[in-house]
Amino acid sequence: MSPAVRNAPPIAWPSLSDLARAIGMDLGALSRLGAIKAMRREKVGREVKVPPIEVHAFLVSRGLSADGAEREVEQIVQQRLSRLSAAADVEPVQIRGQLIRSTSESMRGPLRPAYLSDKRPDPNRPPRANMERLRALDERFKDKGHIPIEEYIARDRERDEY
């Protein structure tokens, strides 16, 4: 199994539905198998994912040849990985701008980076924490006493009017 597939992130792992399709078994029946229950599982969105290496072992135990099982796993994971890299190329969301209608499609999918303005991090300059700016803020607020931010956040959540 290729390192890319073996070390793929959980979002690219085969799902139980993939597994059911691969061996022509009903998903419900598959989920009840002891071998499946013993697998490490990661829930990603609505899908239950299982690690490629464990899927490979399971497929072999169900009668597939080692090569056949490997091809099956490689195909599923590589397909997901290619979709992921395509998603990584999408334009980040900028939250100040025209309203964009949400759809069930747009709400699914991998996390999408977002920015508050049209500025973007400079790829040639790694970001750094600006401690001088924080010290200037400390100086600015040094005589203000305690400002109960947590209480303000909690207060915003109280429903004192209906």
Partner 1 sequence: MSTDAELGFVLDAGAAARIYLLDVATRSVREIYERFVGRMHAPTMIYSEICGAWLNAVREERITWDDYWALRRAFQIDTDEGVIRLWSDEQLHHAAIEVQEELTRLYLDGRRHGSLVHAHDAYYAGLARNLRAETSDRVILITNDAKLWRGARALGLEVFHGNTCDLGIGRAHVGRPGSTFPEGANCAPCTFKRCPSTFYVNLDEPPLHLGSGVPSRASA
Query: Footprint of partner 1 on this chain (CB under 8 A)?
Result: 9-11, 42-46, 93, 95, 102, 106-117, 119-122, 126-131, 133-134, 137-138, 140-141, 144-147, 149-157
The smaller minimum CB distance to partner 1, of residues 37 and 159, is found at: 159
Q: Position of tokens 């040849």?
A: 65
Of residues 73, 56, 55, 61, the one with CA closest to residue 5: 73
Query: In terms of Cα–Cα distance, which of 63, 61, 51, 49 is closest to 1?
Result: 51
Q: What's the CA gap between 147 and 162, in Å, rounded?
A: 28
Nearer to partner 1, 29 or 154 (CB): 154
Instruction: Choose between 37 and 119: whose C-beta lies nearer to partner 1.
Output: 119
Looking at the Cβ atoms of 67 and 158, the one nearer to partner 1 is 158
What is the residue whose two structure tokens read 């004192």?
160
* Helix (H/G/I), strand (E/B), else coil: 43: strand
CB of 1 to partner 1, least distance (A): 17
CB of 2 to partner 1, least distance (A): 17
